[in-house]
A and B are shown apart, each in its own frame.
Chain A
Amino acid sequence: AQSVAQPEDQVNVAEGNPLTVKCTYSVSGNPYLFWYVQYPNRGLQFLLKYITGDNLVKGSYGFEAEFNKSQTSFHLKKPSALVSDSALYFCAVKGSSNTGKLIFGQGTTLQVKP
């Protein structure tokens, strides 16, 4: 069965510091991995995805994520956090054999303090 785990309910970082939001997955076949961000009172917005190729994927707003097959992880990173990055972040996965639903993690709240 497919699953996604985001082990941290909340991540706190100071503005200007690097941030990491963790995600691990379990899926049959090659994974298709996604990160979404949700700002207050808004829908989820696509940040980036990994399908194939380079393990380091760059996305919107300066975010990037590193696919690690051996550790089955897809952590979200940013070199220098902004207060405006504070939001709820979701990791999601699909199996390559599955053209249907994305499986979402439970979400991690990122709090960036000035």
Chain B
Amino acid sequence: DAGVIQSPRHEVTEMGQEVTLRCKPISGHNSLFWYRQTMMRGLELLIYFNNNVPIDDSGMPEDRFSAKMPNASFSTLKIQPSEPRDSAVYFCASSSAGASYGYTFGSGTRLTVV
């Protein structure tokens, strides 16, 4: 298995532009998580899906952020419009159902908004 695949690895964009981050979870995993990591705030859970349905989006910072999971093998996190304070590393992780399973993380997307 190729693991959790995120694209792009790096994204540099200008303030005000739309940014779309992509994630392909491990086949058979039915939970998907989006995290943001910064030096100041550490690792923050933005949103998670179970069986393609958003379960908890309380971590999404504001309406500029949206996430979708149209099917079991694909999810997107969109920021529109982007701002410099959105600069961070965004991680996607997936997991099987059940409390005894941990997460498998992707390699992350490093977003820089200038």
Q: Mark B40-67, 1 if CB is under 8 A from A, else 0.
A: 0011010010100001100000000000
Stretch at the interface among B12-20, B73-81, B103-111: B103-111
Tell me the bound Cα distance from A102 to B45 in angstroms. 9
Of the four ranges (under 10, 10 to 19, 20 to 34, 35 or more), the interface on chain A belongs to 20 to 34
Count of inter-chain pairs, beta carbons less than 8 A:
55
Cβ contact within 8 Å between A102 and B43: no
Cβ contact within 8 Å between A101 and B33: yes
B99 contacts A by Cβ under 8 Å: yes
Of the four ranges (under 10, 10 to 19, 20 to 34, 35 or more), the interface on chain B belongs to 20 to 34
Closest to A44 in B: B105
Cβ contact within 8 Å between B99 and A46: no
Min CB distance B24 to A, Å, is: 14
From A100, A102, A104, give the contact of B55 (CB < 8 A): A100
B70 contacts A by Cβ under 8 Å: no
User: Contacts A90-B43, A100-B48, A100-B56 known; A43 to B99 CB distance under 8 Å?
Assistant: no
Tell me the bound Cα distance from A101 to B47 in angstroms. 10
B102 contacts A by Cβ under 8 Å: yes
Q: Mark A36-80, 1 if CB is under 8 A from B, else 0.
A: 100001111110010100000000000000000000000000000
Cβ contact within 8 Å between A44 and B99: no
9 A-B contact pairs sorted by A residue (CB < 8 Å)? A34-B102, A42-B108, A44-B93, A96-B99, A98-B99, A99-B97, A102-B103, A106-B43, A107-B42
